[in-house]
Amino acid sequence: MLLFCSMISSLSAQVSFSGTNDYGRLKNFVYDTATPNRVYATSLDKHIMVSDDNGVSWEILYTASEYAYLAPYLQQMKLTNNNTALSFIAYYGNGNSLNNITVLDLQTLTVIKQYSMPEAELYQNFGSYDIADENTVFILANGTTDKAYYTTNGGENWTKVFDAVDFEGVLVNQTVMDPNNPEKLFIVRNGGAGNVDGGLLVSENAGQTWSLKLDGLILQTLSINPSNSNDLYAGTGIVWAYLDQHQALYHSVDGGITWTTVSDITWSDGGMDNVPFIAYDPNNANHVVVLGDDQIAVTLDAGATWTTTQHEGANAGNAYFLGEGVAFNPSDTNEVFISNSHYGYKSVDGGVTLAKVENPFYEVMGNMEIINDGTDQHLMYGVQFGYADRNLTTQVETPIDVMPLNEFPMSGQIYQMRADGDIPGRTYAYVSSFMGNSLEVSDDYGLTRIPLMSSWDTQFTAADTNPVNHNIAWLATFNGESATLAKVDFSDVNNIQPEYINLPYSGDWIYGLHINSNNPDEVLVTVGNRLFKTADGGTSWTEITSGLQDLVLPNIALSLVQNPLNVSQFTMAASNGIYTSLDGGATWSRIYDQMINKVEHSTATDGQIVGIGYSIMDILPKVVYSNDGGATWTEKTSEDYYNTIFVSGAITFSENSADVYIGTLSLGLLKDHIDLSTLGNTKFQTVSNATVFPNPTTGIVNIKLANGATVKTAIIYNMTGQKLSESNRNTIDFSNLANGVYVLQIESPDGRSESKRIVKN
């Protein structure tokens, strides 16, 4: 299977990385050996980044995923194929059969090799790997029991050379192949002090037989001098639980036969007491960097002397902690990149002192909201289990409850936040505690909050504020079976008594909640796929269904907004499209027919609408927009946004344009400036009720258009954008194509078109 490769295209030209450098995280640094100052790294998931100025600025080089809706974590990236390719583990999750080792050619940015687990271990994970050449690979399979496999024919056949069951079930931390002799293998084992487990297994014959060294020691890692295979270092694993062991570095100068303890390194007490990574400078073997859990030891003279630098480690989220990798500049031995559990760091003195690698790539979480303060607009988005408040005029960003990387909330999740965009600073937060959840209000973007009510419900789904009395809020929560709707008056903060509103039906989520700006007793509420209206402040309700017949279960309304330039118009984003009403919600029509999570009307020009669809299961994200009230739409797909995962989104408008902010899983904030004065390329406009079947397919795919229309054109593209075939038939033959994922672009006789993802099996 080939990985999906997303190149930076002209369609993404207006998409910018808008995240702050405060939270940027990169891992798996690798220097290019042919191009000076070129460095590769990975984001927190599927993107390989590149810097051509020695880490000052970064761009996306490659996006890895066979399926655009999946986000594998890229691990243990290395140079291979005589330094012309990058290899890495693509990790899709525990026991996922998609887990693989990929080799990416750096000239063509194409996958030239992919290794999957041996069939017997298909649902285990790659713990570590070494590649001598395309044919010879040594891997660790982590699973119920650890095993090591070896191949000399590129993975067509694997030989099991180690099984932990045969060694009392002791876990394995690393497998290593001698870079100068692919038949010499090492297995670094965990275990307990004083027992026969643990230690280092060494094979001189490709795993046929093994000898045990460093018997009984808990070991984490091994590194071999690339220019002298007799020179090795090994580091201890987590030893704090075993009183007769200590954190240590061991050295061998005879290929691992005998070992001595390095005594010149200063080890601290109280951490995890392990040595997770050791690296030789491939261009200067006298330079070795040893990464401890919270200290780094460096030698520039082949171990004659060592400099140890103590870091705050687990005690500070902005400090080095638990090293994962080292990259040495081929042009300057003093320049080193260090990957670890926190931020990426760079050193200009060989690894002795560190400086954070500035970049805007990080995980966005939680909700994203736009708040108007009367003069400026504020963007609020979730990061590191708190929220950031960015003034979009000054670009000044204020952290609200943002946690350092060494801290986590009790629930393990970011608290849920909703905002009232028209009240300066107004946010509502749903914060977990031992005594249930506290729903709180703030008028300073969440810096200070007042508790309003407590609840054991699991989700906080919607909030709106009385437009006449800002001390009254309507708040919706959900407990997994039914919704709760409460009206809370907090004029007297010492006597807050929630009024619970009875709905005709509450057995689903409330995502849409809107109080009429001219009449606060008139409220619209969506409950699942049903819409209710009250004209008396919640005493009685009328279900509004006219035009919503398409919004049937399991479809659900996801947001509800009022057109600020036409108070009679309401628009709803739903799991099967966008609906709008021009008569205050009495009747509705569907104006877009695919899932959208958030929709907004322009505040400047009537008729301009923008919607955002998030990444959910195998549903790809998108941005859609219209300048004619939804009669026609332009669609931007996940390919226009580097095939990243959408977590949240928000929209601001200017005259004939919109800025769409997208919170991503690993690229921080993306900002897309969209011109609304004209619609985009019609190939992204939506066909009404176009369906394709069967999908996945083994050959023929049928296309069905509204009213039985005949397809005008149907074009098959591969996932790199290459056109493969074109037809004007309603049946398309995929049988002559290799198994994989394709894009079928369908144009109807009226000139409107849509792209469908087709899986060929």
Topology alike, domains 117-260 and 691-760? no
Beta bridge partners of 525: 513, 532
Half-sphere exposure of 298 (CA within 13 A, CB side): 23
Least confident of 117-126, 202-211, 365-374, 675-684: 675-684
Least confident of 119-128, 400-409, 504-513: 119-128
What pLDDT shows up at residue 697? Answer: 87
The C-alpha angle with vertex 312 and arms to 308 and 318, in degrees rounded to 5, equals 120
Locate tokens 């713990």: which residue? 127
> In whole angstroms, what separates CA 96 from the centre of its chain?
17
Judged against a pLDDT cut of 90, whether residue 717 lies above it is answered with: no
Residue range 285-319, pLDDT digits in tens: 999 999 999 999 999 999 999 999 999 988 888 99
The pairing of beta strand 557-562 with beta strand 570-574 = antiparallel
What pLDDT shows up at residue 9? Answer: 35
The total number of residues shown for the chain amounts to: 761
Report the alpha-carbon distance of residue 27 to residue 709 in Å, rounded.
51
* Amino acid, single-letter form, for residue 318: N
Locate tokens 């959910």: which residue? 616
Query: Taking a C-beta distance cutoff of 8 angstroms, is the pair 277, 291 a contact?
Result: yes
Locate tokens 């500049």: which residue? 329
CA 92 → CA 119, 351, 615, 641, distances in Å? Answer: 17, 32, 16, 21
How many Cβ atoms from other residues are within 10 Å of residue 579's Cβ?
A: 24
Please state whether the peptide bond connecting residue 118 to the residue before it is cis, i.e. omega within 30 degrees of 0. Answer: no
Judged against a pLDDT cut of 80, whether residue 754 lies above it is answered with: no
pLDDT class of 102 with cuts at 50, 70, 90: very high
Q: Residue 251: phi, psi to the nearest 5? A: -130, 135
Beta bridge partners of 674: 658
Judged against a pLDDT cut of 60, whether residue 192 lies above it is answered with: no
Query: Taking a C-beta distance cutoff of 8 angstroms, is the pair 541, 532 a contact?
Result: yes
Judged against a pLDDT cut of 60, whether residue 243 lies above it is answered with: no
- 3-state DSSP call for residue 556? coil
With b for 16 or more beta-carbon neighbours within 10 A and e for fewer, the 619-639 pattern comes to ebbbbbbbbebbeebbbbbbb
Q: Residue 79: phi, psi to the nearest 5? A: -80, 140
More confident site: 360 or 124 = 360
* Amino acid, single-letter form, for residue 238: I
Tell me the average pLDDT of the chain. Answer: 90
- 3-state DSSP call for residue 501? coil
- 3-state DSSP call for residue 549? coil
**Domain ranges across the chain:** 25-114, 117-260, 264-358, 691-760
Query: Taking a C-beta distance cutoff of 8 angstroms, is the pair 579, 587 a contact?
Result: no
Query: End-to-end CA distance of the chain, in Å?
Result: 11
Beta bridge partners of 662: 649, 670
Report the alpha-carbon distance of residue 590 to residue 596 in Å, rounded.
12
pLDDT class of 241 with cuts at 50, 70, 90: low
Instruction: Name every residue whose Cβ is closer than 8 Å to that of residue 254 and which is 6 or more positions away in sequence.
Output: 230
Beta bridge partners of 411: none
Estimate the share of the chain in helix, then strand, then coil, as percent rounded to the nearest 5.
5, 45, 50
Q: Residue 517: phi, psi to the nearest 5? A: -65, -20
More confident site: 614 or 545 = 614
Residue range 464-495, pLDDT digits in tens: 999 999 999 999 999 999 999 999 999 999 99
Tokens of 677: 């004065």
Residue range 115-146, pLDDT digits in tens: 999 988 888 899 999 999 999 999 999 877 89
The C-alpha angle with vertex 544 and arms to 588 and 466, in degrees rounded to 5, equals 100
Beta strands in 456-495 (DSSP E): 459-465, 472-478, 483-489
What pLDDT shows up at residue 687? Answer: 44
Judged against a pLDDT cut of 50, whether residue 245 lies above it is answered with: yes
With b for 16 or more beta-carbon neighbours within 10 A and e for fewer, the 137-175 pattern comes to bbbbbbbebbbbbbbbeebeebeebbebeebeebbbbbb
Residue range 38-54, pLDDT digits in tens: 999 999 999 999 999 99
Please state whether the peptide bond connecting residue 554 to the residue before it is cis, i.e. omega within 30 degrees of 0. Answer: yes
pLDDT class of 746 with cuts at 50, 70, 90: confident
Q: Give burial (CB, 10 Å; 0-12/13-18/19+) of 709.
A: middle
pLDDT class of 114 with cuts at 50, 70, 90: very high
Percentage of the chain with pLDDT > 70? Answer: 94
Q: What is the CATH number of domain 264-358?
A: 2.20.25
What pLDDT shows up at residue 338? Answer: 98
What pLDDT shows up at residue 270? Answer: 65
What pLDDT shows up at residue 195? Answer: 54
Instruction: Name every residue whose Cβ is closer than 8 Å to that of residue 730 and which is 6 or more positions away in sequence.
Output: 702, 703, 704, 705, 710, 711, 714
Query: Taking a C-beta distance cutoff of 8 angstroms, is the pair 416, 353 a contact?
Result: no
Judged against a pLDDT cut of 90, whether residue 553 lies above it is answered with: no
Instruction: Name every residue whose Cβ is closer than 8 Å to that of residue 351 and which is 6 or more positions away in sequence.
Output: 289, 296, 298, 326, 336, 338
Residue range 593-647, pLDDT digits in tens: 999 999 999 999 999 999 999 999 889 999 999 999 998 999 999 999 999 999 9
Q: Give burial (CB, 10 Å; 0-12/13-18/19+) of 33.
A: middle
DSSP-derived secondary structure letter, 619: B
Report the alpha-carbon distance of residue 422 to residue 644 in Å, rounded.
31
With b for 16 or more beta-carbon neighbours within 10 A and e for fewer, the 461-492 pattern comes to bbbbbbbeebebbbbbbbeeeebbbbbbbbee
Q: Candidates 3.30.70, 2.60.40, 1.10.1760, 2.60.120; correct CATH number of 691-760?
A: 2.60.40
- Region 540-562 average pLDDT: 85
Which one, of 77, 40, 70, 66, lies nearest residue 55 by Cα? 40
Locate tokens 């509420």: which residue? 525
What pLDDT shows up at residue 685? Answer: 43
Judged against a pLDDT cut of 70, whether residue 69 lies above it is answered with: yes
Report the alpha-carbon distance of residue 542 to residue 453 in Å, rounded.
27
Query: Taking a C-beta distance cutoff of 8 angstroms, is the pair 164, 145 a contact?
Result: yes
Q: Candidates 3.40.50.720, 2.120.10.30, 1.10.260.40, 2.40.160.20; correct CATH number of 117-260?
A: 2.120.10.30
Q: Give burial (CB, 10 Å; 0-12/13-18/19+) of 532.
A: buried
Least confident of 455-464, 557-566, 661-670, 731-740: 731-740
pLDDT class of 749 with cuts at 50, 70, 90: confident
Judged against a pLDDT cut of 50, whether residue 543 lies above it is answered with: yes
Judged against a pLDDT cut of 70, whether residue 242 lies above it is answered with: no
Instruction: Report pTM.
Output: 0.86
- 3-state DSSP call for residue 314? helix
Report the alpha-carbon distance of residue 486 to residue 347 in Å, rounded.
55
Least confident of 91-105, 516-530, 703-717: 703-717
What pLDDT shows up at residue 719? Answer: 55
